[in-house]
Amino acid sequence: MSLSYEERKKTILELLAKEEKVQVPALAEQLNVSGETIRRDLERLDKEGKLKKVYGGAVRTGSDSWEPPFDLKTSMNAAEKRAIGKLAASLVEDGDSIMLGNGTTPMEIIRFLGGKKNVTIVTHSAPSMLLAMELFQGKIIFIGGEVNVAQKSANGPLAEWMLEKLKVNKTFISAGGVSAVDGITDYDLQESNISKKMMERADDVIVLADHSKMGKTTFAHICALKDVSVLISDHRCPEEWKRTLTDKNIELLIAEEEDTL
């Protein structure tokens, strides 16, 4: 018995969420229908805004190229970011030097470092620097450079040059998107270059990504998933992404709901 459109739609979208691109022949074989039926399904789903039809198949609806201003991001998924920051801070050991990428999630780590001794923070994020000056008792190194006013950070060649002079134990970066195909991405090319440099200068790389970043691709590539030591997400991380990361041998840590308390 052939599947209904709604049943086919569910399967197509589930595959697309995991693989990010689907091909007509493979779908036709899996769903036991003709290629013409699949093409009609994809065209219908394109009109519904669920995917983008391309030659031979379909892809996700496209990459996000607009990043909300820093101040707006502070109110987005705030509880999840706080939980991720708390769990990330637990990975910091006494005597560690750490780099914090720009973003509202890495900044949350600072709130939970009170019990750590002899820790050094390196950051190019002005809000992180100011919060550290208020709450943090260890050494703070601010990376200067060209200022991104909307994101309240410093970047560009001068910032990258300064990072090249340092070596740390751990780097914590936030992701604009986490994709099985495109890896870790960011919205801004210069910010992605800073993240790459921070990764190069660290023994361990920890990516912070709440559930809304999973299966998403943004403008600028940072690294492949295989380059990540640990990924921390929140309790709403989709089950299919838990399986995907496990299959790729990436350690996934989940900040449970009670961590927000």
Question: What sign has the CA pseudo-torsion 184, 188, 191, 193?
Answer: positive
For 176-213, write each residue's pLDDT tens digit.
999 888 899 998 899 999 999 999 999 999 999 999 89
**Per-residue pLDDT band at 261 (split at 50, 70, 90):** very low
Alpha-helical runs (H) found in the chain: 5-19, 24-31, 35-47, 70-73, 78-89, 104-109, 126-135, 157-164, 189-200, 239-247
pTM value? 0.76
**Rounded to whole angstroms, what are the CA distances from 23 to 48, 178, 183?**
19, 22, 21
Query: Can you list the domains of the chain with their CATH numbers?
Result: 5-59 (1.10.10), 70-260 (3.40.50.1360)
Dump pLDDT digits (tens) for 120-174: 999 999 999 999 999 999 999 999 999 998 889 999 999 999 999 999 999 999 9
